[in-house]
Amino acid sequence: MKAPFEKFTELDRLVHEPARLAILSALSACQQADFLFLQQLTGLTKGNLSGHLSKLEDAGLVQIDKLFVGKTPVTQIGLTAEGRSQIAGYWQLLDQARTEAR
């Protein structure tokens, strides 16, 4: 039999980190978001958000597209299929852990 809080050790630390969890949760509610919107939503600095996005991109959880709208550079971020699966699995595991802890 598993200890009541053992499920928490199964949480993916890449996803569980608060800033990345906020980013992934925001992206799970939409198809794509631009960098400035995510920055405003999360309250992260440009450098901090950029660093977290790089880690998520390296893990294959987000796709980052850089384009121009007119002459203005725009960075669009969206979840990959793996990213959607990871965030859904994260919340499911957290719900199970909470249920088992009760």
Give the pLDDT score at 1.
53
Give the pLDDT score at 99.
85
Look-up: residue for tokens 């597209």?
65
Domain ranges in the chain?
6-101
Contact of 55 with 44, CB cutoff 8 Å: no
Contact of 15 with 86, CB cutoff 8 Å: yes
Q: In this predicted model, what pLDDT tens digit does every residue of 16-74 receive, in sequence order?
A: 999 999 999 999 999 999 999 999 999 999 999 999 999 999 999 999 999 999 999 99
**CATH class name, domain 6-101:** mainly alpha
**Beta-bridge partner residues of 69:** 72
Contact of 71 with 61, CB cutoff 8 Å: no
Output phi, psi for 12, to 5 deg: -70, 115
Give the pLDDT score at 46.
97
